[in-house]
Amino acid sequence: MKKLKNEKELVRKAIEEGMKYGVERGVVEFEPTDSASERIEYIYRLLVHDKIIQPLPPEQVSQLAMKRRIAIWASKLK
């Protein structure tokens, strides 16, 4: 898969927007001690559950793939 332009910034934006989405929805409260990988996985699973993004095939689920999927989601936000 081709690397996204500004992927690091998009991942940061996805984490920030995903955290806001989860808190506003009332399903999660993130702690300052949560690692980025935990946040990425939770945000990915929440967005898949809410049918906002397409799930990855089970054999392709990895930290890198989840990060890329939420980065693509963030690139489409305003």
Question: Phi and psi at residue 76, in whole multiples of 5°?
Answer: -90, -5
Across 14-38, average pLDDT: 93
Q: What is the CATH number of domain 7-25+34-75?
A: 1.20.120.1930
Across 12-30, average pLDDT: 94
Whether residue 3 is predicted with pLDDT greater than 80 in this model: the reply is: no
Q: What is the DSSP string of 50-73?
A: TTSSPPPPGGG--HHHHHHHHHHH
Domain boundaries, the chain: 7-25+34-75
Q: Give the confidence band of 1 by pLDDT, cuts at 50, 70, 90.
A: low
Q: For residue 4, which amino acid is it? A: L
Q: What is the pLDDT of residue 20?
A: 95
